[in-house]
Each structure stands twice: as C-alpha cells, then as structure tokens.
Structure 1
Amino acid sequence: MPGTAPPEWTQIDLTSRRGGAGQRITAVILAVVGVAGFALSFRSLAPWWWEFALMAFGCAVIVLLAAGLWINAGTSVASTVALQETGAAVVLPVVAAFETSDESLRYQLQLRLPTVDEEFVVHACGDRRCVAAGRAAPDAELPVLLDAAHKTWGVVHDAQGS
C-alpha cells in the first residue's frame, strides 16, 4: 500500500531457557504465597469484612503478578529461540549514546543497522558491556542477533549468545 510506513524493528530481550525456568519458579513461589496468604487470613479476618477484602485484594494482585511473570517467561524464551534459529550474529556500530537518569547507570544506545536505508534502533541498558559501549561511543560496537526477514533483533549480553 502506498503511503504506509514500513514495519518497525522489534527488540527481543534475549532470555536463556535457564533464565526462563528461574522466572517460572519465582512465579510459582509468588502464586503459592498469594494463595497461602489468603487461606491463612480467611479464618482470622472473616469477622472484619473490610480488612478481609483488603487482604483478599492484595493476595489476588500477587497471584495475577505471578501469572504475568509465568506468561512473560514463556514468551521471552520462545522469542529468543526463534531469533536464534533464524537470526544472524552481527556486530553493530554504536553511533550515539545518551546517559539516562535512572537510579542505576544506564545508557540509551543508538545502533546502525546494516540495511540499505540507513536504519537505526535504540537499546536502553545498564549491562556492563552496554555501559562501556556508551562511554566509548561513537567508536564502539555491540554483538547483536539480527533477523532482517522478521525485523527482530536482540543485543547479546553474555558470551553464550543468550
């Protein structure tokens, strides 16, 4: 269609299977804590409906957060596996870096993609490798997995590639 913008590049936060399993274990622990908190408070707070309602709401929020963590872990691992299967390992130059004002040291890095159109993507990170690249910009490079067919990419933060 004429006049439509090309699809944007999607950044994938690379997550290992081990990291995904750790997130799912944390989600199960959170869910158990939420259900146990509700069960243990039911008997003692039943006469006071207002306190009971607040405790039930808090426990429900904890269980919902656990469900979100479980779903996010599966999605992250699946996206990482798909990118590792179809993507290519490349090194992208950092053309600009901006220090952000978070509570920890973070940089927003602008990376040049190896495309004909001179496209750029932005990666915000506080990883030691990204902080070093931000300090050395514009003479720095970062290892990236890149899938031009699906317009997905992810910065490789460790030596194993995920």
Structure 2
Amino acid sequence: MSRTAAPEWTQIDLTSRRGSWGQRVTAGLLVASGVIGFALSFPALSQWWWELALLGFGCLLIVLLGTGLWINAGMSAGETVTLKESGARAELPVVSAFETTDEAVRYQLQLRLPEPADGHVDGREFVVHACGYHRCVEAARAAPDSVLPVLIDVRKRTWGVIHGSNASETPTPSSG
C-alpha cells in the first residue's frame, strides 16, 4: 500500500486594508508615470529609433512593475481576508533559526505546527518563515524558547505570521 504525502502548507503574507490600499496607490502611480512618461517623451525622441526603443522598454518595464504590484496587492488582501475568516490564532514555537546573508531577510525561522488531530506524533510538521521584521528577529535570537503569533487554517493548510499591531489582536473566526 503506497502512502501519499500530505499537501504542503501555504504561507500567506498577511496584509491590512491600509497596506493593500497603499500598494495599489503606488502601483497606479507607477503605471501612470510609465504611460505619461512615454507620451510626453515620444515627440522629442521620434527621430532616433534606438532612443525610442530604450524609452519604450523603460516605460513598459515601469508599467509591468506597477501592474504586478497591483495584482499582488489584490491577491494578498483576498488571501488575508479568507484566512482571517476561516483561521484561528495560535502561538507556534520557534524550533530553530538561521541567520541569512540576504540583505532583505535576516532570519529563517523553523516553526512547529500543532499536533495533527489524529494524534500521530510522526505526522508532526514544520514550516519555515523567512523574515527581517523586528518581532521575528527577536524570536529567532531567543529560539528555541520563543513563539510567534500566527493565523492558521488546518483544513486548508494555510498559515501566516501576524506582524505589527495585529499581533495583539485576536480575530474572531466566523462560524461556517
């Protein structure tokens, strides 16, 4: 009898409405600056094809970055709402932490998920959270004697670390 592996856990980057709104404003400004920049510069550069090609490429890149930021903000906001509705707040212990050399991420934290409902200890799972947020850095330095607040949905196998002022809030999952 073959044993199938459980599906992987999906980490959700929790975002607030204000954070999502700010990302969308920034995305809109990027798209507008790319389009307006090309429109205003086109007449001045219309005599040299290579200047137009460079201008077009640069403006297109700005428009694509803005579009990607807009889409990412919408997806993060939707995933956050879904997790807040179906998930529960939990404190996950930090089992180990590794300092990274990447400038954007300072630590990779290994978190132990709650025991499975069926009681199998060998089914215990771990997830990795890479972060440079000050609360995560403090938890990494105090590992293995620290915990991080998370929202977790065991049925959908999704989770997200609660950062910022949201860490002290306890969301109320809707009945469903």
Q: Aligned partners of 2:92, 2:25: CA distance in 1, in Å?
A: 35
Secondary structure (helix, strand or coil) at the match of 2:150 reads strand
Determine the C-alpha separation between the residues in 2 that align with 1:34 and 1:158: 33
- 1:107 aligns with 107
- Once residues 104 and 27 of structure 1 are traced to their aligned partners in structure 2, the CA distance between those partners, rounded to angstroms, is 21
- AA partner of residue 130 (structure 1): C
Provide the residue aligned with 1:19 in structure 2: 19
Partner of 2:72: 72
Flag the 1:123–1:62 CA change in 2: closer, same or farther, 3 A: same
Equivalent of residue 140 in structure 1, options 131, 142, 146: 146
State the partner residue of 1:122.
128
Q: C-alpha displacement at 1:4, in angstroms?
A: 3.2
Deviations 1:19-49 (A, max 9, x none): 0000000001001110111011110110001
Residue of structure 1 in register with 2:42 after alignment: 42
- Structure 1 range deviating more: 108-117 or 134-143: 108-117
Question: Is 1:150 aligned to residue 156 of structure 2?
Answer: yes
Q: Identify the range of structure 1 (78-87 vs 101-110) with the bigger mean alpha-carbon deviation.
A: 101-110
Structure 1: 5+ residue stretches without partners: none
**What is aligned with 1:57?**
57
Please name the residue that 2:31 is paired with: 31
Q: Structure 2 counterpart of 1:129, which letter? A: R
**For residues 105 and 52 of structure 1, do their structure 2 counterparts lie closer, same or farther at Cα, with a shift above 3 Å needed?**
closer
Which residue of 1 is the match for residue 85 of structure 2?
85
Amino acid at match of 2:39: A
- Aligned CA RMSD, in angstroms, stands at 1.5
Call closer, same or farther: CA 1:64–1:104 in 2, change over 3 Å: closer
Identity %: 64
Q: Which runs of 5+ in 2 are unaligned?
A: 117-122, 170-176
Runs of 4+ aligned residues of structure 1 deviating over 3 Å after TM superposition are 1-4
Q: How many residues align?
A: 162
Give SS of 2:39's match.
helix
Contact map agreement 1:83 1:153 (CA 8 A) in 2 = yes
Structure 2: distance between partners of 1:132 and 1:91: 15
Deviations 1:102-140 (A, max 9, x none): 225611000000023110000000000000000000000
The structure richer in strand per residue is 1
Partners of 1:64 and 1:146 lie apart in 2 by: 33
Return the alpha-carbon distance in structure 2 between the equivalents of residues 51 and 72 of structure 1: 32
